[in-house]
Amino acid sequence: MSDFDLSDFPFAGVGLEYHAPASWLAGYQGADPTIERIIDSRFEFLDYLEFQPSHTIYEPRLLCLSAQMPILLHSSSLSLGSVGIAMDSEFLNLTHRLLKQTQSPWLAEHISWTRFLGGDTQHFVLPTLTPAVAETIVANAHEIRRVTDIPLILENIPRTVALKLSGDLAEGEFISNVVERGKCGFLLDLDSAIITARMQGYDLTQYLRSLPLHRLVEIHSAHPARDWEILSPLLTSFPVKAVTLEWDQTAAASDISLRQMVRVIKAHCADKPLYWHGCAIEASNTTAAARADERIQLSRATSFNISEQSLIIHEHSQDLTLSFPLRFLMPLLHFAQPRTMASALLLPGMLNESEITENLVFLQSLLRAGVLLPSTAMPEREQSAERGKIWGHWSAAWDFYCATRTHIDTPYVSVADLDGKLAQKVIQSQRQPSAFKDYWVHPFYPLPNPLTPAPRADPHQGLLEILQDRVTCRCFQNAPINTEQLSALLYYTWGASSIEENDMGDYFVKKTAPSGGSLHCAEVYPVIMDVPGFAPGIYHYSVRRHGLELISREDPRSWISQACGDQAWIEHAAVVFVSTARLERMAWKYEFSRAWRIVQMDIGHLSQTFSLMATMLGLGCCTTGALRDELFEQKLGLDYRDEPIFLVNGAGLAATS
Ligand SMILES: Cc1cc2nc3c(=O)[nH]c(=O)nc-3n(C[C@H](O)[C@H](O)[C@H](O)COP(=O)(O)O)c2cc1C
Task: Identify the DSSP state of 654.
Answer: B
Cβ-contact 574, 560 below 8 angstroms: no
Helices (H), ranges, 384-440: 388-391, 395-403, 415-427
Q: Whose CA is nearest to atom 12 of ligand 1?
A: 624
CA-to-CA distance for 79 and 77, rounded, in angstroms?
Answer: 6
Say yes or no: CB of residue 471 within 6 Å of ligand 1: yes
Q: Whose CA is nearest to atom 7 of ligand 1?
A: 624
Cβ-contact 24, 31 below 8 angstroms: no
Say yes or no: CB of residue 568 within 6 Å of ligand 1: no
Length of the chain: 657
CA-to-CA distance for 53 and 74, rounded, in angstroms?
Answer: 7
Atom from ligand 1 closest to the CA of residue 622: 15
Q: Find all residues with CB under 8 Å of 22, minimum gap 6, and list them.
A: none
H/E segment holding residue 374: strand 372-374
Q: Whose CA is nearest to atom 20 of ligand 1?
A: 472
Phi, psi angle pair for 618, to nearest 5° = 80, 20
Query: How far is the centre of ligand 1, averaged over its atoms, from the C-alpha of 621 (Å)?
Result: 10
pLDDT in tens, 540-561: 999 999 999 999 999 999 999 9
CA-to-CA distance for 404 and 407, rounded, in angstroms?
Answer: 10
pLDDT in tens, 356-389: 778 888 888 888 888 888 876 665 545 555 567 7
Say yes or no: CB of residue 623 within 6 Å of ligand 1: yes
Query: How far is the centre of ligand 1, averaged over its atoms, from the C-alpha of 624 (Å)?
Result: 6
Query: How far is the centre of ligand 1, averaged over its atoms, from the C-alpha of 576 (Å)?
Result: 14
CA-to-CA distance for 573 and 651, rounded, in angstroms?
Answer: 6
Say yes or no: CB of residue 479 within 6 Å of ligand 1: no
What is the three-class DSSP state of 580?
A: strand
Cβ-contact 128, 168 below 8 angstroms: yes
CA-to-CA distance for 352 and 642, rounded, in angstroms?
Answer: 43
CA-closest candidate to residue 523, choices 651, 400, 636, 630: 636
Assign residue 327 a region: left if phi > 0, alpha if psi is -120 to 50, beta otherwise? alpha
Say yes or no: CB of residue 339 within 6 Å of ligand 1: no
What is the three-class DSSP state of 192?
A: helix
Write down the pLDDT at residue 166. Answer: 78
Q: What angle do CA 515, 518, 520 make, to 5 degrees?
A: 65
Angle between the 255-268 and 228-237 helix axes, to the nearest 10 degrees? 40
Please classify residue 188 by burial: count the beta carbons closer than 10 Å to its beta carbon, then call 0-12 exposed, 13-18 middle and 19+ buried. Answer: buried
Say yes or no: CB of residue 626 within 6 Å of ligand 1: yes
CA-to-CA distance for 562 and 570, rounded, in angstroms?
Answer: 10
Query: How far is the centre of ligand 1, averaged over its atoms, from the C-alpha of 649 (Å)?
Result: 10
CA-to-CA distance for 138 and 174, rounded, in angstroms?
Answer: 11
Atom from ligand 1 closest to the CA of residue 607: 31
Write down the pLDDT at residue 320. Answer: 79
Give Cα separations from 631 to 167, 372, 604, 636 (angstroms): 70, 41, 22, 9
Phi, psi angle pair for 53, to nearest 5° = -55, -40
CA-to-CA distance for 114 and 179, rounded, in angstroms?
Answer: 19
Say yes or no: CB of residue 250 within 6 Å of ligand 1: no
Largest Cα separation within the chain, whole Å, is 99
Partners of residue 17 on adjacent β-strands: 50
pLDDT per 10-residue tile (average), the chain, 657 residues: 86 90 71 77 84 86 82 91 93 91 94 92 91 96 95 96 84 96 97 96 95 97 94 92 87 78 85 56 42 78 79 79 86 85 82 78 84 72 60 85 84 86 86 93 95 85 96 97 97 96 89 96 98 96 97 96 97 98 94 94 98 97 97 96 97 89
Query: How far is the centre of ligand 1, averaged over its atoms, from the C-alpha of 474 (Å)?
Result: 10
Pocket test for ligand 1, best of 624, 629, 657 (most atoms within 8 A of CB): 624
Query: How far is the centre of ligand 1, averaged over its atoms, from the C-alpha of 80 (Å)?
Result: 40
Neighbours of 620 (CB within 10 A): 23
What is the three-class DSSP state of 655?
A: coil
CA-to-CA distance for 651 and 597, rounded, in angstroms?
Answer: 26
Torsion of CA 157, 158, 159, 160, to 10 degrees: -150
CA-to-CA distance for 104 and 12, rounded, in angstroms?
Answer: 10
Helices (H), ranges, 42-88: 53-58, 61-65
pLDDT in tens, 244-294: 999 877 776 677 888 888 988 988 876 666 666 544 433 333 444 556 677
CA-to-CA distance for 209 and 309, rounded, in angstroms?
Answer: 81
Q: Whose CA is nearest to atom 29 of ligand 1?
A: 623
Write down the pLDDT at residue 278. Answer: 43
Say yes or no: CB of residue 356 within 6 Å of ligand 1: no
Pocket test for ligand 1, best of 472, 578, 608 (most atoms within 8 A of CB): 472
Label each residue of 325-363 as H, E or C. EHHHHHHHHHCCCCEEHHHHCCCCCCCCCCCHHHHHHHH
Say yes or no: CB of residue 624 within 6 Å of ligand 1: yes
Query: How far is the centre of ligand 1, averaged over its atoms, from the C-alpha of 117 (Å)?
Result: 34
Distance of CA 184 to the CA centre of its chain: 31
Query: How far is the centre of ligand 1, averaged over its atoms, from the C-alpha of 585 (Å)?
Result: 28
Atom from ligand 1 closest to the CA of residue 627: 8
Query: How far is the centre of ligand 1, averaged over its atoms, from the C-alpha of 496 (Å)?
Result: 27
Q: Whose CA is nearest to atom 5 of ligand 1?
A: 624
CA-closest candidate to residue 584, choices 639, 631, 648, 526: 639
Q: Whose CA is nearest to atom 22 of ligand 1?
A: 472
Amino acid at the residue 434? S
H/E segment holding residue 609: helix 595-616
Say yes or no: CB of residue 474 within 6 Å of ligand 1: yes
Structural domains in the chain?
Answer: 6-268 (3.20.20.150), 285-375 (3.90.930), 444-652 (3.40.109.10)
CA-to-CA distance for 114 and 119, rounded, in angstroms?
Answer: 8
CA-to-CA distance for 524 and 83, rounded, in angstroms?
Answer: 56
Q: Is the pTM of this model over 0.75?
A: no
Give the sign of the dihedral formed by CA 176, CA 182, CA 184, CA 190: negative
CA-to-CA distance for 71 and 106, rounded, in angstroms?
Answer: 10
Pocket test for ligand 1, best of 608, 623, 629, 647 (most atoms within 8 A of CB): 623
Amino acid at the residue 152? L
Write down the pLDDT at residue 328. Answer: 87
Q: Whose CA is nearest to atom 21 of ligand 1?
A: 472
Say yes or no: CB of residue 289 within 6 Å of ligand 1: no
Cβ-contact 566, 573 below 8 angstroms: no
**DSSP readout, 129-189?**
--HHHHHHHHHHHHHHHHHH-S-EEEE----------TTPPPHHHHHHHHHHHTT-EEEEE
Say yes or no: CB of residue 420 within 6 Å of ligand 1: no
CA-to-CA distance for 81 and 220, rounded, in angstroms?
Answer: 21
Say yes or no: CB of residue 561 within 6 Å of ligand 1: no
Atom from ligand 1 closest to the CA of residue 604: 1
Computed on alpha carbons and rounded to an integer, the radius of gyration of the chain in Å comes to: 34
Assign residue 42 a region: left if phi > 0, alpha if psi is -120 to 50, beta otherwise? left
Query: How far is the centre of ligand 1, averaged over its atoms, from the C-alpha of 473 (Å)?
Result: 9
Give the sign of the dihedral formed by CA 198, CA 201, CA 207, CA 211: negative
